[in-house]
């Protein structure tokens, strides 16, 4: 029993076999020197198919080269990505060290300008609490640190006061703490207004200066410094600037809001005033 198309199948099969035979000869470098009429006829007949097979072979070869190249490109891309990440980390570390050196130079320069005895310290902890505002520094009783010593930034702004000391560390209660109190006064030629400065729980970058005399000269933009009327703080440490003034207790006293200098930059190093 013969199936439809069986004859066509055998013809195609023979052609393919002959085609690969010629292709194999051409790949191995053989040359057909003397051919019969039938062989020449078949060669010419199969030549287009030879080209097709050669093109297919070349396409497969090119595709394989492309796959290999893509793999190499992917590996190179991963290597470069890792290198970029490594360089970014080193750059971040370099910038961190550079900024720290700049701050330390400013600390040293400031220490030479003021008459106080001071000890430099690095901030190693902070309490994230609206009601209790404090820092932990890496200096303690071994370094001469004691309770109630004033703490300032590298540019001289008041930060707070030592409230607890261990051998190697100390806790600094910040000016923004609601329990912190310091005497302040306006530094202006035609004003000697004085008051009590307290922290605020709801506005950590500001403090309140109250108990100001009803007739005292104080206005927005005035510079406020420590008054020296409290025994634990020397006179003249910058605190901040007045942003708002209002009357309190039916006009008997005034109250001012102070934007604190200590809140203008991140606090990473401080100076503890050990004697004044």
User: For the chain, what percent of residues have pLDDT higher than 90?
Assistant: 34
β-bridge mates for residue 119, sequence order: 272
Cα(269)–Cα(139) distance, integer angstroms:
11
Greater model confidence, 130 or 179? 179
Q: What is the DSSP letter of 188?
A: B
pLDDT tens-digit map of 214-237: 999 999 999 999 998 888 999 989
**What pLDDT is recorded for position 32?**
46
**What pLDDT is recorded for position 100?**
67
Q: What are phi and psi of 151, to 5 degrees?
A: -130, 135
**What pLDDT is recorded for position 16?**
58
Q: What is the dihedral of CA 60, 63, 65, 67, to 10 degrees?
A: -130
Place 30 in a pLDDT band, splitting at 50, 70 and 90. Answer: very low
Residue 162 tokens read as 């030592």
Q: What are phi and psi of 230, to 5 degrees?
A: -100, 135
**What pLDDT is recorded for position 138?**
93
In the predicted structure, residue 270 carries a pLDDT above the cut 60: yes
Q: What are phi and psi of 38, to 5 degrees?
A: -65, -40
pTM over 0.75? The answer is no
Count other C-beta atoms under 10 Å from residue 6's C-beta: 10
């Amino acid at each position: 029993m013969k199936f439809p198309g069986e004859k066509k199948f055998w013809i195609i099969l023979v052609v393919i076999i002959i085609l690969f035979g010629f292709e194999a000869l051409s790949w191995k470098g053989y040359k057909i020197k003397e051919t019969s009429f039938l062989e020449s006829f078949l060669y010419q007949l199969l030549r287009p198919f030879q080209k097709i097979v050669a093109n297919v072979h070349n396409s497969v070869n090119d595709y394989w080269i492309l796959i290999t190249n893509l793999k190499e490109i992917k590996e190179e891309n991963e290597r470069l990505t890792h290198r970029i990440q490594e360089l970014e980390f080193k750059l971040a570390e370099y910038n961190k060290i550079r900024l720290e050196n700049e701050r330390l130079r400013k600390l040293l320069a400031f220490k030479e300008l003021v008459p106080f005895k001071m000890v430099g310290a690095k901030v190693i902890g902070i309490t994230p609490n609206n009601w209790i505002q404090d820092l932990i520094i890496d200096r303690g009783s071994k370094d001469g640190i004691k309770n109630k010593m004033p703490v300032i930034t590298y540019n001289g702004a008041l930060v707070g006061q030592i409230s607890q000391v261990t051998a190697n560390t100390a806790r600094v209660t910040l000016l923004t703490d609601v329990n912190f109190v310091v005497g302040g006064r306006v530094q202006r030629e035609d004003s000697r207004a004085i008051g009590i400065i307290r922290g605020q729980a709801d506005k950590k970058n500001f403090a309140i200066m109250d108990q100001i005399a009803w007739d005292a000269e104080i206005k927005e933009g005035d510079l406020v410094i420590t008054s020296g009327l409290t025994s634990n703080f020397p006179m003249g440490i910058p605190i901040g600037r007045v942003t708002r003034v209002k009357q309190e207790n039916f006009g008997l006293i005034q109250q001012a809001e102070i934007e604190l200098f200590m809140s203008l930059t991140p606090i990473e190093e401080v100076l503890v005033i050990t004697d004044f």
